[in-house]
Structure 1
């Protein structure tokens, strides 16, 4: 074999080897791309599942999801001592600008329909807790009379109610709603630019949302000299919250909704908890302090 023939044979073997390596590299790259695609899909799936699981775990681990306190003998004894010997018309609890008499508190017994003053005073207790806390959302609570005037007359009827306060300085603004024979709750989440409606009987009440949204729009111009941002929205969340199974507990549901929402807490109560919650509301009002401060 001549030198040239030997060189030519080596060149052919070299090119054959290069082609083999080229095919191997192509196969490896193809394999890596497929793995990358699958890994990306798995990664996206993992992120999605993890996000949901994190929310679920947070719900169960959050302080708000601890078992609801039981109305115990010590609480019962405290309530008995405070109310014993008091006349029905006597004021037994005064929080902020609201107060309740012994007669008002009797509406928390059994299946009685809740008195408006109980709701007003309980919301004032929630507001005071917010004021005294460095960690809870800042909450402002209107009374049960605001919606009646706003829905019938408009912002002008209650313009002076906030002459010393700017509700847009708060995180949450609560509106207890009296519909004649039913209590519900609406609230504005200033942080999320959302006005929500909560009805323990599933009602959506777009009329209520529209009236309160008009109020917020005018109030914004009055207090901030600016119109509400276009990204504000209204929604009913009544289909996503605990529902009452009778016609008596709507007021208690509304109070408890406000308590949980004011703590950014997940709802963990139901109709079965109402007898216990009625007693706890009474205890908190007489104590002048929320159990979850």
Structure 2
């Protein structure tokens, strides 16, 4: 029966690259293709999709929290492919350098069967630290002014991403402390060191030369979210970070406009549609019979 189910429903797991920094954002895409001739329903609970992470020696890496939340009902009609994307980095402590194997398991509730994907391999390797600085989190509204601030740390690292050198930012609680987020900031050239400053609100400002004449300016908040992204071109002088009127700003260079600028320049705050949109109104799950083997017929002898 398992072979028959896998022939009628194909499930694959994909990564956008095969090399990551420790605790870097790790988006996983699970693709489901339905060839059964029937409409299938997924996402009724958090059990329909599960992940398994192992070391190259077969040691399983257990989740550090509850498994990734995957609930969200959707249907896949026959001959249709659906894709579910989720970042699994907050749920697995992938801090040790080495090779890992990732497997996804999809449970088809109507048939009472589970399908496992082929494992994909990826490597976790340490990047070169270029800059780091500890900072105090700003006080929240209502906090007493004399209260000690929580300390976090920004770390800039360089590593290869998709065969090109890239700059990464890491937000943690200091050496050996909790890692809040690790994410790529921009591509970078090897002959110019990025410049970084932390403003009074605890935001990290980074100016990095990302091409022969191009610079990328980014602002990252204490939670590791990129709030501002702008591109600058070398004009009569090079862009540089400066402190004016209590704010960190970019002076010099020529400011460009790009589709990936942050905040987005799209009209009305348009957002890209998610790959899968769960249906708002619950509907009864259709009664679907499990696939049955097609009887083989013996060809007549000559």
TM-score (norm 1): 0.24
* Structure (1 or 2) with the greater helix fraction: 1
Question: Which of structures 1 and 2 has the larger relative contact order (alpha carbons within 8 angstroms, sep 6+)?
Answer: 1
* Structure (1 or 2) with the greater strand fraction: 2
